[in-house]
Each structure stands twice: as C-alpha cells, then as structure tokens.
Amino acid sequence: MISAGDFRNGITIELDGNIFQIIEFQHVKPGKGAAFVRTKLKNIVNGGVVEKTFRPTEKCPQARIDRKEMQYLYEDGGLYNFMDTETYDQVALNADTVGDTLKFVKENEMVKVCSYNGNVFAIEPPLFVELEITETEPGFKGDTATGATKPATVETGAQVSVPLFVNQGDKIKIDTRTGEYLSRA
C-alpha cells in the first residue's frame, strides 16, 4: 500500500479494479480546508487519462509491474517481434501496444517490455541511443547563429533537430524520452 502523500511520477497503483500510472501529481495546500493531492492518472490497459484528487492519508495498493529485458528483432506487417535472450521465447506485439516508442530503436537492440499479470502494456526503449544521420542538408560556412538547428533523418527513419555542424554520416547521441539531440558520438 502506498499513501497519496508518497505519490511520485511513474508509480503504478491499483484503483477501482484498474491499473493506473501516475503521470503528474501536485500536493495542494489551500488557505482554508485540508490539503489534498491532485493527480493525472493513465490507465495502462486502454491508455485513457483521468484526473483524480486524493487526501494525503488515503492509501492505494501499489501495482506490481514486471519489466523484462528483451531484444527487438524486427517488424513484420504491423507486428513487432521481441525475444527473451535467456529463454529464447519470442513475443509479437501489435502497433497499438508499441506506439512510437521504437522510433529510435534499431533491430537487435535491447528494450524493456512492461507487463502486468502477463499482459504487455508498454515498451521502454533505452534512455540514450547512438544513431547515424542518413539524410540532412549540409551546413554552410559562416551560418553559425547561436542555437540554430536543422532537420535530420536518422537510420531508423525518425526526424531529429540537430545543430548546423552535424553532417550526413555522423553518429549522434539521442535522448529517447524527448527525441532531442545530445551530442556527436
């Protein structure tokens, strides 16, 4: 059991027979009346988002989420295939479950597959990946305005904004949570 006063982003709780992940939380102490915790909760099964308020002393059972390291193999007709590298069991997930989490993940890279009671609900890519730029416009000499960026396509097909000095063929480091360029690799 976890009390509402201990809520943090990313924690999963059981509420009204459903499993929710806390997206946002805010402790509110109004001038009059008792304090409360305002939350935004995402249903991990159907993806719906609801807002709910709790008293800080309310308790909810914390949901046990299994995160398993698996290797992303390939995409075939809308199904994404993953393999457990210990048991060699393969799992095929549809595009609805995967979403756009694999836009920075190459084939044969490791990802975390999140499940609750055996039902997979999300994929967590590595926090940082190194990818090669396959297409971008060349930077021009003297075109060095502070913070200027240009669009680039990486080897997975995703679009990233990169500084002007990055050229086609360069390897770059990307933060998969935000999709932002971090540095050259």
CATH number at residue 17: 2.30.30.30
Domain count across the chain? 3
Domain co-membership, 133 together with 175: yes
Here the CATH number for the domain that contains residue 95 is 2.40.50.140
Residue 27 and residue 74 in one domain:
no
Give 115-153 pLDDT, tens digit per residue. Answer: 887 778 778 888 888 989 898 888 666 656 667 788 899
Buried b (16+ CB within 10 A) or exposed e, 97-134: bbeeebbbbeeeeebebbebeeebbbbebeeebbbebe
Regarding pTM above 0.85, the answer is no
Per-residue pLDDT of 46-77, as tens digits, reads 778 899 999 888 898 988 888 889 999 988 88
The C-alpha atoms of residue 134 and residue 131 are separated, in whole angstroms, by 9
Q: What pLDDT score does 180 carry?
A: 86
Pick the residue with more confidence: 97 or 104? Answer: 104
Last residue of a domain, one of 81, 109, 124: 124
Range of the domain at 104: 66-124
